[in-house]
Amino acid sequence: MHIAFYAPMKPPDSAVPSGDREMARNLVGALERHHTVEIASQFSSRDGTGNARRQDRIAAIGENLAARLVRRWRTGYPGVPDAWFTYHVYHKAPDWLGPSVSRALDIPYFMAEASHAPKQAGGRWDTGYRRAETAIRAADGIIGLSGADTACVLPLLSDPARYHRLAPFTDTAPLALAAGARARHRRDINAQFAIDAETPLLLAVGMMRDGDKLASYRVLADALSRLAARDWSLLIVGDGPARSETEAAFAALPAGRVTFAGAAAPSALPALYAAADLMVWPAVNEAYGMAMLEAQAAGLPVVAGRTGGVPDVVRDTATGVLCPIGDAAQFAAAIAGLLEQPDRLEAMRSRALAVTAAENDTAAAARRLDEILRGGRKARAA
């Protein structure tokens, strides 16, 4: 099939790294294993301010773009798609294109990672909220990547069979390959960042921006301040507009314990994951956390906050430990507990490799997506 793909939150080729961008890219890659994929539009419908006038302008632009796409495809260039696929719809980033185009061209409309928050009705994002709800109701199939979204999305569907669960996924092969060379990667990372070879290495990977990311870094700094008497080093991979605020959060920790590595290219991440002993990320309001999934696919256990879809990615007590969100004391206790039990940490490492290879690889996701799309198209034609 020829699939028109659209990500209203952030296009797959965005220059700004994020888990959202990586999941969009992963979906395109998975779909391309069985179909041809066209990026339908780069248009971002996101309004992060809750400005009603801005949302109205976004709506008008979206409706005009939808009409242009319909006209273009009806003239035969590059051919009418067989289905439309939208990734990540919620009240701050509704889909103003997919429902209109799908209806005009009479093609099935699919969504992945759709969220519905009834508490937003009548609020600052009411325009986006209502559009997102309309789009969810119109979908021929919805792929849920986070169990946290299911309860609110299902009541909007006339047929619950239109809702399909799919585990977050990535290409686990290069990550597993890095795990196999863990000793070499550890030597290289120790040398590159002047980290003592005998010191347990903690790793945090995340953008540095205001809001939830900065809140996560502050919880992590608080937790590690409670472990200052213990032996550990923290390597932080990431950058962004809140870099100075992030650095300030860790300033009170003993000198030399925290290293800021800056942003890393995606190709460099597998070695970093494999080299570390434990990934630590409080995950404040995290959807599910692509970095945490990638870490486990490289055999790195995770300590994270229990929020959103994180429990879908980090299997508590099996591949990591989940803590109450924002609780620095319990987060510190979880880190200390694992560092004191190297055998348990090693068992989690092996379990993380096995589980992600079996449940979170692109190949299995591609087959499942193909089944969902073909089934939805057949049901629509019936």
- Mind listing the pLDDT tens digit for each residue in 191-227? 999 999 999 999 999 999 999 999 999 999 999 999 9
Asked whether residue 97 carries a pLDDT value surpassing 80, the answer given is yes
Amino acid 127: pLDDT: 96
* 338-349 pLDDT, tens digit each: 999 999 999 999
- Tell me, yes or no, whether 181 and 96 share the same domain: no
Predicted structure pTM score: 0.91
- Tell me, yes or no, whether 182 and 270 share the same domain: yes
- Tell me, yes or no, whether 296 and 185 share the same domain: yes
- Tell me, yes or no, whether 177 and 139 share the same domain: no
**Residues of the domain holding 344:** 173-359
Q: How many domains does the chain have?
A: 2
Q: Which of 3-17, 178-192, 358-372 comes out lowest in average pLDDT?
A: 3-17
Query: How many other CB atoms are there within 10 angstroms of residue 14's CB atom?
Result: 16
Structure confidence at residue 17 as a pLDDT band (50, 70, 90): confident
- Tell me, yes or no, whether 222 and 149 share the same domain: no
Asked whether residue 370 carries a pLDDT value surpassing 90, the answer given is yes
Amino acid 79: pLDDT: 85
Specify the CATH number for the domain of residue 217. 3.40.50.2000
**Tokens 């986006």 — which residue?**
128
* 57-67 pLDDT, tens digit each: 999 999 999 99
Amino acid 14: pLDDT: 87
Distance CA 109, CA 305 (A): 34
User: Side chain identity at 47, as an amino acid letter?
Assistant: D
- Tell me, yes or no, whether 187 and 38 share the same domain: no
Q: For 89-96, what is the mean pLDDT?
A: 96
Distance CA 189, CA 276 (A): 9
**Tokens 């969100």 — which residue?**
325
* 137-146 pLDDT, tens digit each: 999 999 999 8
- Tell me, yes or no, whether 135 and 150 share the same domain: yes
Q: For 321-331, what is the mean pLDDT?
A: 97
86 dihedral zone (left: phi>0; alpha: psi -120 to 50; beta): beta
Distance CA 188, CA 272 (A): 10
Residues of the chain with pLDDT > 70, as a percent, come to: 100
Q: For residue 131, how far is the Cα from the chain centroid?
A: 23
User: Side chain identity at 301, as an amino acid letter?
Assistant: P
- Tell me, yes or no, whether 106 and 190 share the same domain: no
Arithmetic mean of pLDDT over the chain: 95
- Tell me, yes or no, whether 247 and 328 share the same domain: yes
Distance CA 278, CA 204 (A): 9
Asked whether residue 78 carries a pLDDT value surpassing 80, the answer given is no
Question: What token pair was written down for 41?
Answer: 């539009």
- Tell me, yes or no, whether 207 and 343 share the same domain: yes
With a CB cutoff of 8 Å and minimum separation 6, the contacts of 364 are: 169
- Tell me, yes or no, whether 279 and 162 share the same domain: no
- Tell me, yes or no, whether 316 and 300 share the same domain: yes
Among residues 294, 76, 71, which one has the least CA distance to residue 171? Answer: 294
Distance CA 377, CA 6 (A): 18
Strand-pair partners of 302: 279, 320
